[in-house]
Amino acid sequence: MSGKVVLSPDVMRDVARITTLATPGVLAMASAPEHGRKGKVDGVEVEMLESGARIRLRVIAAVNLPLQKLGEQIQSNVASAIAEITGMTASAVDVIFEDVRSKP
């Protein structure tokens, strides 16, 4: 069969956002001002590069958690989900903790 498959950056954002929110200890995504940049939605920024997608996540975490470990878990989960669902590589997954809060 001929043709091509094209993935929108929106797909990458949705996969990254859903995967991040499903990680225990993540309470929400933190929205950031757009400042005229494309690709930033609900705390997720995706930049498509030749080497793969660079993903930046702005996260609100539950208080009293080891943030370094949580960040590493988010990185692993998102990179795996991107590879499994889209067949593409996440060349980088940056996690920025914007706030910590008590669970509701």
The CATH number for 38's domain is 3.30.70.1350
**Is 44 part of any domain?**
yes
Say what the pTM is: 0.87
The total of structural domains in the chain comes to 1
Distance CA 83, CA 45 (A): 17
**Is 4 part of any domain?**
no
90 closest CA partner among 56, 43, 41, 62 = 56
**Is 2 part of any domain?**
no
**Is 3 part of any domain?**
no
Q: Which residue has the higher pLDDT, 54 or 51?
A: 54
Q: Give the pLDDT mean for 34-47.
A: 69
Q: Give the pLDDT mean for 34-58.
A: 79
**Is 26 part of any domain?**
yes
Average pLDDT score, the chain: 89
**Is 1 part of any domain?**
no
pLDDT digits (tens, 9 = 90+) for 57-100: 999 999 989 999 999 999 999 999 999 999 999 999 999 999 99
Give the per-residue pLDDT at 93. 97
**Is 62 part of any domain?**
yes
Name which of 30-34, 46-50, 51-55 the model is least confident about: 30-34
Q: Which residue has the higher pLDDT, 69 or 53?
A: 69
Give the per-residue pLDDT at 73. 98
Domain of residue 15 covers 9-101
Q: Which residue has the higher pLDDT, 49 or 98?
A: 98
